[in-house]
Amino acid sequence: MSMQRVNRASRTQCGFTFVWVLMTIFVLGIYLAQVGTLWRTEIARDNEEVLLHQGDEIRDAIRRYMEAGGPQGGFQYPRNLADLVKDPRVPFERRFLRKAYKDPMTGKDWSFIGAPGGGIMGVYSSASGTPFKTENFPKVYGSFTGQTSYEGWKFAHYPGNAGLRR
């Protein structure tokens, strides 16, 4: 008889341990899901900062490319980002951009804003996500305020806005 009591107590103890392990796994799963969400948010915010920085560099490089002009003179927009990395208009090496960046939000090529007469006057991201930053932009990017998608952030040099540098 005493053997039956020991078996029953042992089975009760195993059941309690099993429930305890299940509860621990459940709580740990909830915690890891929260950590994953936090990491994803931090990565998106970092990519957004890179987007603002690189987009501004590209816009400024387009402005300087136009101001530098070619051997024939006159204003001319670059045909693509590679023209900003190595100016094809001159026989010597002239750079306006360190390298042709990829869109930090998608990892792919930027979408381009066409220029009158050909070439590109700016870039924008094809990412459709909602930006975290929605206000307090520099004056040149005042149109970014309240945008609901990264596609609304247009980094372009418009000839009439030469005074708006930052």
Q: How far is CA 83 from CA 12, 65, 93, 108, 109, in A?
A: 75, 9, 11, 18, 15
pLDDT at 64: 94
**Rounded alpha-carbon distances, angstroms, from residue 138 to 32, 40, 52, 125, 135:** 37, 26, 11, 18, 9
> Which amino acid makes up residue 40?
R
CA nearest neighbour of 65 among 114, 119, 117, 102: 119
Which two structure tokens, joined as six digits, stand for 42?
Answer: 């931090």
* Backbone phi and psi for residue 156, each to the nearest 5 degrees, phi listed first: -135, 150
Task: Please give the pLDDT value at position 14.
Answer: 65
Write out pLDDT tens, residues 80-124: 999 999 999 889 999 999 999 999 999 999 999 999 888 999 999
Q: Rounded CA gap, 112 and 124, in Å?
A: 6
pLDDT digit string (tens) for 6-35? 556 566 666 778 888 888 888 888 877 787
